[in-house]
């Protein structure tokens, strides 16, 4: 049976470890990942910017908005397909793992120019 004082010291040790104030815990530092925030607008009938450039390894966060009707932000090769509704930004994050050009399309029928809503994400 663990004595009360030992239990308390274990508790304190745990707390100190969690707060990261004691180097003896050898807490792994999480490497700071470069994170890129970009605003994208989907509207009748365009994706702006049509070219989204990021660097390989970037943690990318897209804030996608629409001023008119519902659209869908789809990048098949990156496994992204998110509805974008008026009045609320769709926040889409992904890690730019490999270099290349990845086509962006609109995945929700939004009118006559739906098929014209294209763009690309370029990972360099
Ligand atoms: Cu925008 Cu379909």
Q: Where does ligand 1 bind, in terms of residues with CB under 6 Å?
A: 42, 71, 106, 108-110, 114, 117
For 76, half-sphere exposure in the C-beta direction (CA atoms, 13 angstrom radius) is 5
C-alpha 117 – ligand 1 centre gap (Å): 6
The sheet with strand 51-54 has its strands ordered as 51-54, 118-123, 100-106, 71-75, 80-84
Nearest to 85 by CA among 114, 42, 115, 37: 42
Pairing of strands 118-123, 51-54: parallel
Mean pLDDT confidence for 23-45: 76
Closest C-alpha residue for ligand 1 atom 1:
71
C-alpha 37 – ligand 1 centre gap (Å): 23
Strand runs labelled E in the chain: 35-43, 46-48, 51-54, 59-65, 71-75, 80-84, 90-95, 100-106, 118-123
Mean pLDDT confidence for 22-51: 80
Give the pLDDT confidence of 59-117 residue by residue, as tens digits. Answer: 999 999 999 999 999 999 999 999 999 999 999 999 999 999 999 999 999 999 999 99
Any residues with CB less than 8 A from the CB of 88 and at least 6 apart, and which?
A: none
Which atom number of ligand 1 is nearest to the Cα of residue 108? 2
Question: Rounded to two decimals, what is the model's pTM?
Answer: 0.74
């Amino acid at each position: 049976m663990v004595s009360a004082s030992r239990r308390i010291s274990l508790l304190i040790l745990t707390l100190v470890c969690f707060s990261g104030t004691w180097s003896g815990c050898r807490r792994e530092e999480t490497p700071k990942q470069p994170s890129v925030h970009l605003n994208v607008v989907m509207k009748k009938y365009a994706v702006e910017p049509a070219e989204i450039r990021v660097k390989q390894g970037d943690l990318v966060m897209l804030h996608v908005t629409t001023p008119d009707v519902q659209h869908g932000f789809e990048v098949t090769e990156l496994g992204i397909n998110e509805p974008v509704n008026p009045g609320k930004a769709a926040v889409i994050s992904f890690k730019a793992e490999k270099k290349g050009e990845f086509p962006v399309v609109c995945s929700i029928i939004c009118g006559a120019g739906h098929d014209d809503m294209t763009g690309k994400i370029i990972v360099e």
